[in-house]
Each structure stands twice: as C-alpha cells, then as structure tokens.
Amino acid sequence: MIPQGWQPIGEPFVPELSPDAKAVRDFIAANSIAQITHRTESAMCRALHMGINRLQDAVYEFRKWEAIMARKPKFNKEQRAEMLRLHNGERYSVGKLANKFGCSQTAVKTALEAAKIEAEEETMKNTGINEEFEQSVDQMIAESKSADAEEPAAIAEPDKLPAAIPDYVLYAVDCRIADLEHRLQDFADQKAMLEHDLRRLQENIESVQDEHDKLADWKLEVDP
C-alpha cells in the first residue's frame, strides 16, 4: 500500500493492469510454467542463477574497463599505488594529493579508483579465484545437462492438483497468497523510501567532504 502523502520515485503508481498485461497474466494462470517454456522450474532457476552471475561478471568487467580507460598517461602504476598508499595510510586529502602531484582533484580521484582496481586484480591473482570460478561453471553445466535429461518426462506429465483437494483449502491458499502479495508491496514501498533517504545522506556526505577538503587545503596553504 502506498503511504499517504508519499510520492514514489521513478514510474508513477498505476494500480490497474493494461489489457496486454492482463492477457499475459491470464495465459500464465491457465497454463503451467513447463507448458509455456518447455523447461522444468528447476532448470529455469539454474539458468536464471547462471545469467545473474554472468551479468555480475559483465558489470565488474565494464567498471574495470572504465577505470582502466580513464587512467591519465602521466600517472604510471607505481604513482597510482603511491597515491592510494598516501590516501589510505597517511590520510592525505584529495586536494593535498592534487598539490603534491601537480594535477586536478578529478585526476586524483580517477587515479585512486584505478589503483583500487589494480589492487583487487593482484589479490584475485593470488587467491586462485579463477580456478574456483571454472569449477563452479563446470558444476553448473553438469547440473544443467542432468536437468535437460529430466525435462521430457516432466513436460509429458505436468503436475496437476488432485481432484480430492477441498475448495476451502484452495480458498485458504488464495488468501495467503493475497496477504503475501500485500506484504511484498509494503516492503517494496519501504525500500523505495529508504533508497530516497540513502541518496540524500550520500549527497550530504559528499557536500561535507568537499567542504572539509577545501578547508584542509586552505589551511595547508596559509600554514604549511
């Protein structure tokens, strides 16, 4: 339920389904998942899990590529590592690093991000994570092949509810489903409000950090 006086973030709240959405919902309600997709639920769950892992890997590779492409030519790997050491160990501010290396604060922030990526790469090389990832992929492929062998029988004999189930049992299940859907909607609304508050806190943190860096740089200039 949408709280009174609260404006949702992003798309406006639309309580009614469109005709196309209703048609899809009715089709899914009238047919089993196995009949629609010709795959068992377990196989689809494994495929979805594998797809999510691949998406996470792609996002990581894209962010790493962004950081690598953004590295300035005048900073080599050793200089970026030195920046990261001064920033984390000696508590050098971004402004102080910019003065020390004779560049802009934006260039310093970019170099620090690139140094973090390089440090993560070195850690991954030493932990053998690539071998563990390959083993997990091989295991998922083997499970997928096993599921494919089970699918024809599952599709030929789709699960059906026995005719002996009383109507009041089905009614109780429907009521429970409706209650869970209502709770899920409440949780989604609470999550949206928390995300909004989190963004505001992040903006405040960045504003305070910028003011702190400017004052620290000014103090360093007048009283080195």
Select from 68, 69, 81 the least CA-distant residue to 112.
Answer: 81
Select from 53, 97, 92, 43 the least CA-distant residue to 75.
Answer: 97
Is residue 186 in a domain?
yes
Q: Is pTM beyond 0.75 here?
A: no
In this predicted structure, what is the pLDDT of residue 7?
A: 46
Query: What end-to-end distance do the CA atoms of the chain give, in Å?
Result: 58
Is residue 79 in a domain?
no
Instruction: Report in angstroms the alpha-carbon separations of 66 from 161, 184, 222.
Output: 52, 36, 37
Is residue 64 in a domain?
no
Q: 193 lies in which domain range?
A: 162-224
Tell me what the pLDDT averaged over the chain comes to.
Answer: 71
Q: What is the mean pLDDT of residues 185-212?
A: 88
Number of domains making up the chain: 1
**Please, which residues have CB within 8 angstroms of residue 32's CB and are 6 or more apart in sequence?**
158, 159
Task: Please tell me the least confidently modeled range out of 101-105, 133-137, 140-144, 180-184.
Answer: 133-137
Is residue 4 in a domain?
no
Distance CA 38, CA 79 (A): 56
In this predicted structure, what is the pLDDT of residue 160?
A: 52
Is residue 70 in a domain?
no
Comparing 129 with 52, which gets the higher pLDDT?
52
Select from 38, 31, 53, 52 the least CA-distant residue to 147.
Answer: 38
Comparing 197 with 45, which gets the higher pLDDT?
197
